Amino acid sequence: MTRILLVDDETRFARALAISLRARGYEVVLAATGEEGLAEAARTHPDAVVLDLGLPNLDGLDVLRALRAWTTVPIIVLSARDQDASKVEALDLGADDYVTKPFSMDELLARIRAALRHGTKSADAPMVVTEHFSIDLADKRVTDIRGTNVHLTPTEWQILEVLARHRGKLVGQRQLLQEVWGPEYEKETDYLRVYMAALRRKLEPVPSSPQYFITEPGMGYRFS
């Protein structure tokens, strides 16, 4: 789960933001002071930090400096002041973004999403690993247990990609057909049977009794 550290002493605002973030599936760690924020950052290794400059005791810019001394986690700075000086300073100290109050919750959430994209751009290879093969979504490559490349045709790959993205979930036949062939093919369930057979032949250890590509009769398929 994506973890976000929120360093802010205005508990009312912080709580509202935390609720919004949690409602969207993020895990939120709260810190009310700069010291606490640094400690929590070290302890929980968040995927992004939202940092309010208006903190008691320790100045927000000092917190920023301290964080940047050891981590490249995306940091979004919030400020009540619209002063250029601190804005420029914060950005040059390594903040990824600077948002001035007042701002809408939607905007902040969008900026958090943008910041999270930066964090994952270089790291995080979207990989699905099983006991018998592994799927590299970024490289568009499938390798078997010995590291040999498994060749898939474009259609086979698209089906695998859709199933892998919904790992564990049931994907309806109509949905699969629409995502791979387009909306006008949603009745061509024959195609699915042919291609599921191909995928099983190439990836299942025992194609005749599938372990990863499960058929849910009358409904669709599931990858697990």
Partner DNA sequence: CCTGGCGTTAAGAGGGTGTTAAGGCCCTTC
Partner DNA sequence: GAAGGGCCTTAACACCCTCTTAACGCCAGG
Calculate helix-pair angle for 154-165, 173-181, nearest 10 degrees: 130
Contact between 191 and DNA by CB under 7 A: the answer reads: yes
Interaction mask 117-146, a second copy, x per CB under 8 A: xx--xx---------------xxxx-----
Query: What are the structure tokens assigned to 112, written together?
Result: 């958090």
Q: What is the number of helices (H) and of strands (E) in the chain?
A: 8, 12
Rounded CA separation 204/31 (Å): 48
Which residues in 155-184 contact DNA (CB under 7 A)? 155-156, 173, 181
Does 149 interact with DNA (rule: CB under 7 A)? no
Under rule CB under 7 A, residue 105 binds DNA: no
Map tokens 């935390």 to a residue: 18
Cα–Cα distance measured from residue 174 to residue 7, given in angstroms and rounded to the nearest whole number: 45
Nearer to a second copy, 169 or 193 (CB): 169
Q: SS3 of 27, please?
A: strand
Query: Under 8 Å CB-to-CB from 184, ≥6 apart: which residues?
Result: none
Distance CA 46, CA 193 (A): 43
Q: Looking at 95, 116, 196, 199, which residue binds a second copy (CB under 8 A)?
A: 95
Indicate which of DNA, a second copy, none lies near residue 110 (CB less than 5 to 8 Å, by partner kind): a second copy
Tell the residue number behind the tokens 């979004």, with chain if given: 76
Q: Judged by CB under 8 A, which of 46, 111, 128, 200 binds a second copy?
A: 111
- State yes or no: residue 42 binds DNA (CB under 7 A): no
Of 1, 23, 56, 84, the residue at the interface with a second copy (CB under 8 A) is: 84
Task: For residue 177, give Cα distances in angstroms to 43, 155, 169, 180, 183.
Answer: 45, 11, 16, 5, 7
Query: For binding to DNA (CB under 7 A), which residues are involved?
Result: 151, 153-156, 173, 181, 188-198, 200-201, 207-208, 215, 217-219
Query: For binding to a second copy (CB under 8 A), which residues are involved?
Result: 72, 84, 87-88, 91-92, 94-98, 104, 106-107, 109-111, 113-114, 117-118, 121-122, 138-141, 153-154, 157, 168-170, 216-219, 222
